[in-house]
Amino acid sequence: MTMDTAVRIAVDDVGTGEPAVLFIPGWCGDRTVFDDLLAGLGEHRRALSLDLRDHGRSARTSTDFGTDAVVRDAVEVIRGAGLERVVPVALSHAGWVAIELRRRLGPEVVPGIVLLDWMVLGPPPGFTDALAGLQDERAWEQVRGALFGRWTTGVKSPALHEYVAGMGGYGFDHWRRAGREIARSFAAEGRPLDALAALETPCSTLHLYAQPAEDAYLAAQREFALAAPWFRPHRLDAQSHFPMFEVPDQMVAAIEEFVAGLPPHNS
């Protein structure tokens, strides 16, 4: 279905019960990445997924936009669906949208956040250069190809390969916007974990991820969590940037346990 926001936003909406979950895809991808998670979570509670404006089945626009517009669209989807409590489940850099939803709507409406395979400790070496390359008309296709290779090499899931191939249908304008908006968010906010720590009220946050697989990455997150018990890292038994194509049942179980364990309203 579509919702009448400032731009018509395509939304899937299944199940009943709150807190609901709202799946938010990253740039240059669509909500089908969440199909298995949506079905699984919909057996326990209300679950929604959206396409960003000018992505998937949402309305096309010739007007440029940024992260703030995506946040406004998400707020309108939440209000239009009549959700009183909702947990954003954000893929990769859509995490910035989830954090801003918490800021704008507060803990009464957004009691927790789930981050999926994100750079919560900040960009790795070379990533800032890659973002700049996506904004260069002479280099963006090479940079995009390198990303696609990193996401698919050694991964056997046909569905993952099909999804990444679909991301290739987005052209320079979309990938330039992605590079620009991701770079701007990191420049303004710093590390995602620091942005979360700076929230006025601590926000229960679950990070489900597969990459990077190094033990040091998990150890650094666990060290952060010692001083910030609201943060919980969970490394999945998967190997790709899109673990929902590899271990959807594992992810559904982890998300449901997290959401079900959030304090009740007005507790």
Note the pLDDT tens digit of each residue in 193-203.
999 999 999 99
Note the pLDDT tens digit of each residue in 248-260.
999 999 999 999 9
Note the pLDDT tens digit of each residue in 80-105.
999 999 999 999 999 999 999 999 99
Q: Where are the chain's structural domains? A: 2-122+190-260
Residue 205 has pLDDT above 60, yes or no: yes
Note the pLDDT tens digit of each residue in 19-32.
999 999 999 999 99
The pLDDT assigned to 6 comes to 66
Return mean pLDDT, the chain: 96
Note the pLDDT tens digit of each residue in 10-21.
999 999 999 999
The pLDDT assigned to 116 comes to 98
Fold type of domain 2-122+190-260: Rossmann fold (3.40.50)
CB within 8 Å of 235: residues ≥ 6 apart: 209, 210, 213, 218
The pLDDT assigned to 7 comes to 79
Residue 267 has pLDDT above 90, yes or no: no
pTM metric for this prediction: 0.96
Question: Which residues make beta-bridge pairs with 20?
Answer: 86
Q: Please give the C-alpha separations between residue 259 and each of 27, 144, 228, 256, in angstroms, as whole numbers.
A: 25, 34, 18, 5
How sure is the predictor about 142, in pLDDT bands with cuts at 50, 70 and 90?
very high
d(CA 30, CA 48) in angstroms, rounded, equals 13
What does DSSP assign to residue 261? T
The pLDDT assigned to 250 comes to 98
